[in-house]
Amino acid sequence: MEETQRQKKIAGIIQKDLADILQRAATDGGLKGTLISVSKVSVTVDLSLAKVYVSIFPNKGAKELLEGIKENQVAIRYELAQRTKHQLRRVPELNFYLDDSLEYIEGIEKSLKGEENPIENRDLLDKRKKS
């Protein structure tokens, strides 16, 4: 089922403000060389839950950083509520996921260029399976 206009609008508001909140938290936390972006937000029909896909560059340490984001989820949601109090009545519950699509695309490009051939090196196939 396709998203309604309301879902898209709320997802856009959340995406914009969350990207700013997360990037500011990263720079204030001493991660000056780290770029955090919110690549996609999808909101459920009842507007109670939002899936937030976060892209982190450079990729090393991304899982640890995502765990830190999940641990501070309450504070992030509170900050989001303060920013969007004139636009949203209730801020949806936030679930954060790591967006590894850039990594996946890079792997495909390497295969196409011939740098990594999954036919010759079978170990590469296990790395590419999506979970």
Q: Are the C-beta atoms of 80 and 96 separated by less than 8 Å?
A: no
**Which tokens sit at 91?**
């801020």
Q: What is the pLDDT of residue 3?
A: 81
pLDDT in tens, 85-101: 988 889 999 999 998 77
Please give the Cα distance from 31 to 16 (Å, whole number): 20
- pTM for the model stands at 0.76
Average pLDDT over the chain, rounded to whole? 84
Q: Residue 24: left (phi > 0), alpha (psi -120 to 50), or beta?
A: alpha
pLDDT band at 19 (very low <50, low <70, confident <90, very high): very high
Neighbour order of strands in the sheet with 93-98 = 35-43, 49-57, 93-98
pLDDT at 63 over 90: no
Interstrand relation of 35-43 and 49-57 (parallel, antiparallel or unpaired)? antiparallel
Between residues 34 and 39, the one the model is more confident about: 39
